[in-house]
Structures are given as structure tokens and as C-alpha cells.
Amino acid sequence: MLVKFNLNGLDVEVNVKPGEYLIDTLRNYGVKSVKKGCDGSSCGACTVLVDDKPVLSCSLLTAKVEGHNVMTVESIQDEAAALSECFSREGADQCGFCNAAFALMVHALKKENPHPTDEEIKDYMVGNLCRCTGYQSQQKAIKAFLGGKK
């Protein structure tokens, strides 16, 4: 089946199998920043933005994005690099597997709530797991990034 949607600002048409999940479509299309972590909607590594809202691509059928806007970290390169610098400064970055999803979540949070409290940051990021670090350094890095601290 042919599915048409906007991917990172470009209109695309992809031929997908019925029942194909968006993560597989994106990875087959060459978007490798979207990670397969658990295939069970519990780690957040496959997070993308659909119409600016975080969505787990491992549990969303590609057919459901027909006519919608899908964003991956490739569309926010500069912002992701700035966040990565904050992660590095706070010691919140180790293997990097979760970074793309974290960057998208922070991007969405910033649009939705530009000045979140610590608790609001924690609540928003709760679905993104990191197997390498504790979340305290990530919390500090996100807070610094959103506050514009360098």
C-alpha cells in the first residue's frame, strides 16, 4: 500500500506492507536515528514526532501517518547538537543510543512548555529510558539547555 506523509519537511511516498510499523518504514527508508530498543513500547528509543507530538514508532502503523508530518532528529540537527553539548557537560552522555529520542522529546517539550519546572521535565521525559546513566545528570542537562545556559 502507498502511504504519503511529510518526513522532516519533505513529502514522501512509501510502499509499505499492511501492518508495517513506522519504525520499520523509517529504517527501511534510511532513517537510522530511530532506534529499535525494545519493540514493546516501553523504552522510548524509537520516539519520533508526529504533528509535533512524541509518538513511539514501534507501536504506530505506518498507514496511520498518511497526510501527517513526521519528524526525526535529522530535522533538528542544530538543536540536537546543542543539547548534546549540555549532556556532555553534565556527564549525561555515554553510549548515545537514547540521544535522538531525548532530543526529540526535549524539542517537543520546549514547544509545548518553554519554561518547565523540574517536575514537569521529569514527567515529560519519563518514557525515555537510558541504560547507561542515572537521570539526574540528564535532568540537569535538559534544564540547562532549556534555560539557555552554556
Tell me which amino acid residue 60 is.
Answer: L
- Of 127, 140, 142, give the one whose Cα is nearest residue 54: 127
- CATH topology for 75-147 is DNA polymerase; domain 1 (1.10.150)
Per-residue pLDDT of the chain (150 residues; tens, 9 = 90+): 999 999 999 999 999 999 999 999 999 999 999 998 777 777 888 999 999 999 999 999 999 999 999 999 999 999 999 999 998 898 887 777 778 898 999 999 999 999 999 999 989 888 777 767 667 888 899 999 998 544
CA–CA separation, 109 and 122 (whole Å):
11
CA–CA separation, 15 and 39 (whole Å):
22
**67 within 8 A of 47, measured Cβ to Cβ:** no
Q: What is the pTM of this model?
A: 0.90
DSSP 123: H
Domain ranges of the chain: 2-72, 75-147
- CATH topology for 2-72 is Ubiquitin-like (UB roll) (3.10.20)
**25 within 8 A of 34, measured Cβ to Cβ:** no
| Within this chain, domains 2-72 and 75-147 share the same CATH topology | no
In the chain, which ranges are continuous DSSP H helix? Answer: 22-28, 77-90, 99-112, 118-125, 135-147
